[in-house]
Structure 1
């Protein structure tokens, strides 16, 4: 059977696709992006199994600070408790199963908006009005189900999988690669959520390759991107990466004069880290930004978008102007990326579309396909 054989299931099509060596590789089959069957497989085998990034730890600095999300259909809150510990727990009331908190904010207690059942920040049930006549009810020992939560290099990571290895173990290679950047000390200066009309993997792949920068980002950073200087090594089991060199006159993309951690070309090297399944980090010596992606059906993606500065720029007298310049740049870049990725999704829905051969600059996309196949097909 050929790769165009419509009798193949989406999972089988992907398995056939990744069997080719990189030198002969093509983009993933269309069904990987458009099939409900494939979406169900990745929810079950990817988003229910691997670590997912919620936000930065410094975005929740105080007791009662929280943010909410859905992971693989499960409403979850991440909250800092009275002891200063970050914890993730079910965002569903133990009574009539209403969701509890919405968005992000700060609260002294978790109060259900339906019947005012009230929980401590650690999830223990504190109060349940008008329940004294139910002889079977006792609030003692009742608590919201807990979800695994770990802080790693400043990132808040959660997983629904009780058997997943610790993040620090799974991603030890990332710490080895960029440990001298001290990413854990970068400070988040903005955070937003968005929903775009494209498949989550289209946006993930768009981030993973810089081949598109000169064209898609011609109005912003494209002129600063030199294809001949991009290096795309083979990826690792849990992540892939590549790097580009920023021009010396791009102040924010270079190490601050007071930065003594980095030397030589490292002072202008930008790493693009794709941590599976969907944490995408641009890490420069001066700033960082990231996307954390989750599917919303096959044709939309939920985006957790944030970024900030290296500590030297945070403490710079011109800090606010640096923040403003960075955010304005990233907003413009996002407009360009949204246009490109929504066009790709529209195109791959066409009956006449065919996955093309990959460039050597799309090595990360090939590695991402290998990862997905290993998860959904056990390969």
Structure 2
């Protein structure tokens, strides 16, 4: 009997014009999830969120990447850094969620660490003659900022984010994404496999049906462009009309010209960062497996600098956030239905539309990672 890795390899061995969706085992196999955690999430860069959300010294956010607890923070010198979120004493996790702190205090025995990870104090340790405070810093984890996004990786040999995503910068450099400010951030858990939600973002084929109650009527399938993907990402574009003004370039924006003043990019940066970038606003999902049948979602968004100081911007964005929440309800319903269907014994992958080119490229990315680990 073939395993999910073999089935995926066979699925991507055909040209796009003959391609089908990925086999159900790729979404439902516990063994394949283990491979994803070891061969993908432990090796590639993972997006934590926006640097603007960690603006002040002591601002922090915690996460688990491939089962490893991590804290990302702005230290006392204003530098972004990532560290293990595990105490060096009895190995309790340290911080939770996100917030601001002057130091990192273990909730178990109050060992206290500075924001650079060095151990500041450890109560009642003076009688242990081998104890040396200088030997107990929290281990550093690679952390990089790119166009306003914060990434971490467990892989000491991973190429830099900037080098891996240089083609993204070529595509959208004139949008000035590094200056966009996050105005909301949330976390959710949905009952679907993480790849189902990733693929849902990557294709706009579903918009007229899944989003009939919100944005479906605004979606013109004939205007969607889905070019072949790149090694580290795929994308497609949609042209927006003036139904939602904040999606268009602000009158003061002189960087964008012609159709780019109304062009939306849907960027899927592997493995799990999904960005909708418009001239006026952005929103994103950062996805991580939460078991086979659930996905943990970091959901956030905000505005371009041109709109931040616009008198009507907050009103526009409040309406946008309401719309995004409604769209999320629709996406949750659709993606959870897909996962339930994938678990059926009768589930068989169908042929892909030309509008699902990004899904085909995503399958190739996944296959390249798990096959590389086999060699």
Q: TM-score, normalised by structure 2?
A: 0.99
Residue aligning to 2:278: 284
**In structure 2, how many angstroms separate the alpha carbons of the residues matched to 1:21 and 1:196?**
32
**In structure 2, how many angstroms separate the alpha carbons of the residues matched to 1:34 and 1:42?**
12
Contact 2:180 2:302 in 1 (8 A): yes
Say whether 1:163 aligns with 2:157.
Answer: yes
Aligned pairs for 1:242-257 (under 5 A) are: 242-257=236-251
Say whether 1:341 aligns with 2:328.
Answer: no
Residue aligning to 1:151: 145
Contact 2:246 2:317 in 1 (8 A): no
Say whether 1:133 aligns with 2:127.
Answer: yes
Aligned pairs for 1:8-23 (under 5 A) are: 8-23=2-17
How far has the Cα of 1:141 moved from its partner?
3.6
Deviations 1:126-183 (A, max 9, x none): 1000001111111124200000000000000000000000000000000000000000
**In structure 1, how many angstroms separate the alpha carbons of the residues matched to 2:134 and 2:44?**
33
Residue aligning to 2:73: 79
**SS in structure 1 opposite 2:366?**
helix
Segments of 5+ residues of structure 1 without an aligned counterpart are 1-6
Aligned match of 1:266 in 257, 260, 268?
260
**In structure 2, how many angstroms separate the alpha carbons of the residues matched to 1:291 and 1:42?**
18
**SS in structure 1 opposite 2:237?**
strand
Say whether 1:308 aligns with 2:305.
Answer: no
**SS in structure 2 opposite 1:123?**
coil
Say whether 1:56 aligns with 2:50.
Answer: yes
Contact 1:313 1:322 in 2 (8 A): no
How far has the Cα of 1:318 moved from its partner?
1.2
Residue aligning to 1:323: 317
Contact 1:238 1:275 in 2 (8 A): yes
Deviations 1:73-100 (A, max 9, x none): 0000001001000000000000000000
**In structure 1, how many angstroms separate the alpha carbons of the residues matched to 2:96 and 2:316?**
31
**SS in structure 2 opposite 1:140?**
helix
How far has the Cα of 1:250 moved from its partner?
2.1
Say whether 1:123 aligns with 2:117.
Answer: yes
Aligned match of 1:98 in 86, 89, 92?
92
**In structure 1, how many angstroms separate the alpha carbons of the residues matched to 2:318 and 2:162?**
33
Deviations 1:267-298 (A, max 9, x none): 00000000000000000011000000000110
**In structure 2, how many angstroms separate the alpha carbons of the residues matched to 1:189 and 1:323?**
9
How far has the Cα of 1:249 moved from its partner?
3.1
Say whether 1:24 aligns with 2:18.
Answer: yes
Residue aligning to 1:367: 361
Contact 2:224 2:236 in 1 (8 A): yes
Residue aligning to 1:113: 107
**In structure 2, how many angstroms separate the alpha carbons of the residues matched to 1:326 and 1:57?**
22
**In structure 2, how many angstroms separate the alpha carbons of the residues matched to 1:296 and 1:130?**
38
- Aligned positions, number: 373
How far has the Cα of 1:353 moved from its partner?
1.1
**In structure 1, how many angstroms separate the alpha carbons of the residues matched to 2:148 and 2:292?**
31
Displacement over 2 Å in runs of 4+: none
How far has the Cα of 1:336 moved from its partner?
0.4
Aligned match of 2:201 in 197, 207, 232?
207
Deviations 1:287-328 (A, max 9, x none): 000000000110000000000011111110012212211110
**In structure 2, how many angstroms separate the alpha carbons of the residues matched to 1:194 and 1:219?**
22
| RMSD over aligned Cα atoms | 0.8
Deviations 1:98-143 (A, max 9, x none): 0000000000000000000000001000100000111111112420
**SS in structure 1 opposite 2:134?**
coil
Deviates most, 131-140 or 62-71:
131-140
Residue aligning to 2:170: 176
